[in-house]
Amino acid sequence: MIEMWERFCFYGMRGMLTIFMVRELSLLDTQANLQYGAIQAFVYAFTFIGGLFADKILGLRKSLVWGALLMIIGGFTIAAAPKQLFYLGICFSIVGTGFFKPNVSSMVGQLYKEGDSRRDAGFSLFYAGINLGAMLGGILMVWVGIEKSWNLAFALVGVVMIISLITLWFTKGSLGPIGLSPITDSSPLFAKKSVLEWATYGGSIAVIPLIYLLVTNTTYTDWVMYISGPLALLYVCYEMTKYDAATVKKLIAAIVFIIFSVFFWAFFEQSGGSLALFADYNLNDSLLGIKILPNVVNNSANSLFIIIFAAPLGLVWVWLANRKLEPDSVVKFGLGFLLLALGFFVFYYTVHFADKETGKTSLNVFTVGYLVVTFAELCLSPIGLSLMTKLSPQPMQGLMMGMWFLASAYGQYIAGLLGAGMSVADKEAPAMEKLVSYTGGYYQLAIYAAVLGVLLIAISPLVRKLMGAVR
C-alpha cells in the first residue's frame, strides 16, 4: 500500500511524459524519446544512490519518508506551472524516487527469513499490489492530463504521495526493527548520526541544480551513463572484498542478472516512449467494441494484467516448488526474454491490421501484445527483486537493489535511443509512414529479445553454480 502510491505517480508520469513534451513543449518525436530516456534513466540511476545512503546512514524507513517528501514537492511544483516548471519539478521527483523506490523493495525482502520458499510468491504479490497503483495512475493521470488539465494531473502526484506517507505512519508499528537506521548505539558513527543525516538531506537538495542541467541537456546524459555504471560496479567489487568466496560468487550471479536486465528494460520500456507515441498516432479507439483513449490502454493494460495474473503465477511457483518442479531463476529469466520477443512480434504484427488511409490499426491486437509482455515481466521483474535480496548479504541489500534499479536506468536510457531510432524525423509525416517505422522497430526488438533468451538459458548451468543453494 505504501509502494502502490509511488507507482501511481511513476506510471502516471511515464504515460504522460512524451505526450506532454510533444504537445505542450513542442518537441519533435525523436527529441521527446531522447528526453524521456534521459529523465527515466536519472530516475533509476538515483535509486543506486538512495540505496547506498539508506544502507550507510538513513536506514530504509527515513529514506522512504524523505523520498516521498521530495516527490510531493516535485508534483506540486509542476502543477503550479507545467510548461515553465516542468524540468524543475522533475528534478525533485528524480531524487525523491531514488530515496524511495529501492528501499521499500528491500524492506519486503527483509520480511522473509533466509531460505523461505514463499519469498518469490511474496514478491509476486507485492508486484501485484504496486501494479494496482500503476494501473490507477496510468488511467487517471493520463486521462486527466490529455483530456482535462495538465496542472491537475501533475498535482495528483503530491496528493497520492501524502496518502503514502500517512499509510507508512500507521503501519510502521508492525515492522519491528526492519528499516531502522544502520547507525546503532554501538556504532562508532553514532555521535555523528544527526550530522550525517542532515548532511544527506541537504546534499540531496543541493544536487538539484546539477540534475536540472543534466536533464535539460541530453548530451550530458551520455557522459553520466558512461561514467556512473562502471563506477558503481567498481564500488560493488570493492564491497565484495569484505566477504567470503561463496558470498562473492552469489554477488557475481546477481551481477549477471543485472546485466541481462538492462536489455530487458531497454525493450520493455518502449511503453512510455515509442509505444506511447505509436498509441497516439496509430491506434484506433475501440477495445472490444468499447471506445477508450488508446494511451490509457497503453499505460494501464500491463498493470491490469499483472493484478490479474501475478498472484496465480506466484502460487504456481509455490505449487511447483513443493513438488520440486519449479524452474530455477535463471530459466525464469530466459523465459521472460522469450515471451518479451513474442509480445513485440505481436506489436509488429499490428501493421497487418492497419487502415492504409488513416494509418490506424487494431487496439485489440495491441492489447494482446501487452498480455504476452506482462507474462514476460512476471517471469523476470519480481523474481529479480527477490534474487537481489537472496543473493546479497543484508548489509549490501540496499546497494544491490540500487544496482538492480541502476540497470533499469541504463535500460531506460537505451530505450530512449531505440525509440528515437524508430521515430520518423518529420513531425508532419503521414500516420501510415509512422506506423511502418515503429512496427519495423518492434520486429527488430523481438529478434534481439529471442537471441538473449536463448543465450541466458544456455549459460544457466554456469550461473546456477555461482548461486550456490539459492534457486
237-251 tens-digit pLDDT = 888 888 888 888 888
Name the band, by pLDDT with cuts 50, 70 and 90, for residue 336. very high
Share of the chain above pLDDT 70, in %: 96
Q: In 24-81, where does DSSP find H-type helix? A: 29-53, 60-80
- Return the amino acid letter for 327: P
Confidence tier at 186 by pLDDT (50, 70, 90): low
Output the pLDDT for position 185: 66
Q: How far apart are CA 330 and CA 332, in angstroms?
A: 5
Task: Note the pLDDT tens digit of each residue in 286-309.
Answer: 899 899 988 889 888 888 898 888
Please list, in sequence order, all residues whose beta carbon lies within 8 angstroms of the beta carbon of residue 464, skipping any fewer than 6 positions away: 328, 330, 471
Contact at 8 Å (CB) between 373 and 305? Answer: no
- The count of domains in the chain is 1
CB-based contacts of 111, cutoff 8 Å, min separation 6: 122, 178
- The answer, yes or no, to whether residue 123 has pLDDT greater than 80, is no
User: Tell me, what DSSP letter sits at residue 355?
Assistant: -
Contact partners, residue 247, CB within 8 Å, separation at least 6? 240, 393
Q: What is the pLDDT of residue 420?
A: 84
CA distance 6 to 13: 11
Residue 30 is predicted with a pLDDT of 84
DSSP 55: I
Q: What is the CATH number of the domain that holds 398?
A: 1.20.1250.20
Looking at per-residue pLDDT, the higher value among 283 and 176 belongs to: 283
Closest CA to 120 of 392, 313, 342, 401: 313
Cell, residue 95: 531524487
Q: Given a cut of 90, is residue 394 above it in pLDDT? A: no
Q: Which helix (H) or strand (E) holds 129?
A: helix 119-143
pLDDT confidence of residue 273: 83
**pLDDT tens digits, one per residue of 2-52:** 888 988 988 888 888 888 998 888 888 888 888 888 888 888 778 778 877
pLDDT-based confidence at residue 157 (cuts at 50, 70, 90): very high
Q: How much is the pLDDT for 308?
A: 86
Q: ∠ CA 62-66-68 to the nearest 5 degrees?
A: 115
Strand partners for 290? 287
Q: Give the predicted TM-score (pTM) of the model.
A: 0.78
Render pLDDT for 209-227 as a digit per residue (tens, 0 to 9): 988 988 888 777 778 888 8
Among candidate residues 93, 123, 103, the one with its CA nearest the CA of residue 12: 93
Mean pLDDT to the nearest integer, 205-211:
91
- Which residues constitute the domain of residue 154? 2-467
